[in-house]
Structure 1
């Protein structure tokens, strides 16, 4: 009984009949788990993918039900999402461009603007236009990223507390991409009276449904695997933010649903259960694995980590179910099970 009451508190009371939600990027790390969580909680789901045929293996991982419909949709094609969002109460816009190569370009700025930023913004606006046409969509929850934030002020000094107001200096392609895309979404929504809320993801780790190892899992486990590229990303996150903020797979998806259904949700919400310095994170990973990974850490002495705040989300009433030790345990267990990590 207590569990049922907690679910109602976090997801909001349901009207007669199950609500219908569209999830873009349904085959990704967060998207696939969100689809499954929605189905488990009785919702109808319209899941979109550029190639649904490639989703059949993933489909077998989702809860078996007739409340799920798959749609083929491409963010770059205007009107592509019209059918997917038709009749939906809300849309979770999880899909995003995650990989791109600018290393070999002669004019990097022009290339990034034309081939990365413009398509990302266009895709988001295309989706919002479909939401407008639907007449049924009441809210859009946009999945953003902590890359849009920074732990340093305009003078380069470290902040002790990082929250939603600490917008990043656009000095990296991915940060620039996500910030401009989010800004464009809020501007279009404001001009067209669309209710939009964004959830700022920290480093998401834990169990996963995808057949591949998600990038954030590779970053989180880099001290264990010794992958120099992902270890460098983890170190850069620690340097930029002042700490590494984390959240469990299930909690990030619960937070998406919570923000969709809470009538008072407005603006941007940072979602992390806890943050700690890189050296502390590596120490915790070492304890779980029974090995010393401290050689991977290049952190200044007397480092005082910044706190990444979840106050705004918690003040709205959201409660996290998984702490950092849960995240470490379940991430490593999932990686061992699929053969990505060996502890022997």
Structure 2
């Protein structure tokens, strides 16, 4: 039996659900002032060096791509369009959403890992011809818009 496995990074974006998915809550946990979710985000960053992220639309497109591509018969693929640190996420939210008030006293994991210089990722899907359509700006923007729509952010 041949199996294709798509391991997805932290999924963000817009949703048709009536609640805020946990992956989005983790991604924007600094803006939500959700300490447990923020600790989980820091754990992921400490474990992986940076957090792999992807938009839900790209997740769906990657699944369709793998089903329609005859050459994809088996294998594991990391599905992530960007790799971010908690510091980069906080910087983006502070810059474009100053009303969300992310504290400046947060200690970031990348400050602790700076000397390590963790670099990793996967281009296996790209090598087969898949192209991610959503950049990190769109992922965070849509996640914040979704959280506002769900009432998790004011």
TM-score, normalising length from structure 2?
Answer: 0.89
SS at 2:130's partner residue? coil
Aligned residues: 149
Alignment of 1:177-326 (within 5 A): 194-265=1-72, 266-290=74-98, 291-299=101-109, 300-301=111-112, 303=114, 306-326=118-138
SS at 1:318's partner residue? coil
Cα displacement (A) at 1:302: 6.6
Q: Which runs of 4+ in 1 moved over 2 A?
A: 291-302, 304-308
Contact 2:58 2:134 in 1 (8 A): yes
How many Å separate the matches in 2 of 1:302 and 1:269? Answer: 26
Contact 2:49 2:113 in 1 (8 A): no
Cα displacement (A) at 1:249: 0.7
How many Å separate the matches in 1 of 2:32 and 2:25? Answer: 8
Alignment of 1:80-99 (within 5 A): none
Indicate the RMSD between aligned Cα atoms, in angstroms.
1.7
Unaligned runs of 5+ in 1: 1-193
SS at 1:247's partner residue? strand
How many Å separate the matches in 2 of 1:327 and 1:251? Answer: 10
How many Å separate the matches in 1 of 2:104 and 2:66? Answer: 38
Structure 1 pair 268/302, CA: closer, same or farther in 2 (3 Å)? closer
Corresponding residue number in structure 2 for 1:340: 152
Cα displacement (A) at 1:284: 1.0
How many Å separate the matches in 1 of 2:146 and 2:15? Answer: 7
SS at 1:295's partner residue? coil
Unaligned runs of 5+ in 2: none
TM-score, normalising length from structure 1?
Answer: 0.41
Structure 1 pair 328/260, CA: closer, same or farther in 2 (3 Å)? same
